[in-house]
Chain A
Amino acid sequence: DTGVSQDPRHKITKRGQNVTFRCDPISEHNRLYWYRQTLGQGPEFLTYFQNEAQLEKSRLLSDRFSAERPKGSFSTLEIQRTEQGDSAMYLCASSTGTSSYETQYFGPGTRLLVL
């Protein structure tokens, strides 16, 4: 299967701890996106990369959040000093990056619970 993969699928942590999530996009997809989904809401955009360049960040992405895509392949999303409000499903998506009308393909998500 060559879809988007995310690791871990579930993470339980204590408030104040740091967590890091990984996303592996579909091979040769140049654009990679991070979204967050909370209960009863649709996914909300956090940030996106064109190859290794981070081109846009939502105001939802506080200073405690950082994302990287060092070689334009996989990406990591780190949350420092986690808070209970960070509990959510974190979704990664990728697209080809060759046109304006693009379909984004999503991974299975990482469900984070902050106690």
Chain B
Amino acid sequence: DQQVKQNSPSLSVQEGRISILNCDYTNSMFDYFLWYKKYPAEGPTFLISISSIKDKNEDGRFTVFLNKSAKHLSLHIVPSQPGDSAVYFCAASGGNLGSNYKLTFGKGTLLTVNP
């Protein structure tokens, strides 16, 4: 079963506007959430993270929001730039005892920022 879901396979926004990428999870034991960005033929690059004791974390143009009751998180990019065009993965860790460290990923959302 898919414990981390990114329901939008793709998103297109105009340069300078806000990009909002969404992620839902089903395992209430997840307690650490991360966003990665991936270009073709490269490994994922870490963007930003949030632990379950917080509801918001901000780093420059990137902000992650966590709604634990809804088991939902989102990544906001403001302002969006053409260089942000990539696949964005949501990932979570925690869960069953002994599995605290492995990451469970969603399927990714392809973001295209148009000039």
| B31 proximity list for chain A (CB < 8 A) | 100-101
Name the interface size band of chain B: 20 to 34
Q: Is B112 an interface residue (CB 8 A)?
A: no
B43 touches A101 (CB 8 A): no
Shortest distance in angstroms between A91's beta carbon and chain B's nearest beta carbon? 6
Q: Is B19 an interface residue (CB 8 A)?
A: no
Q: Choose the segment among B64-72, B73-81, B99-107 that binds chain A (4+ C-beta atoms closer than 8 Å).
A: B99-107
Name the interface size band of chain A: 20 to 34
Contacts A100-B32, A111-B41 hold; do A105 and B46 have CB atoms under 8 A apart?
yes
A42 touches B106 (CB 8 A): yes
B46 touches A103 (CB 8 A): yes
A residues adjacent to B (C-beta < 8 A): 4, 6, 31, 33, 35, 40-45, 48, 55-56, 58, 91, 93, 95, 100-109, 111
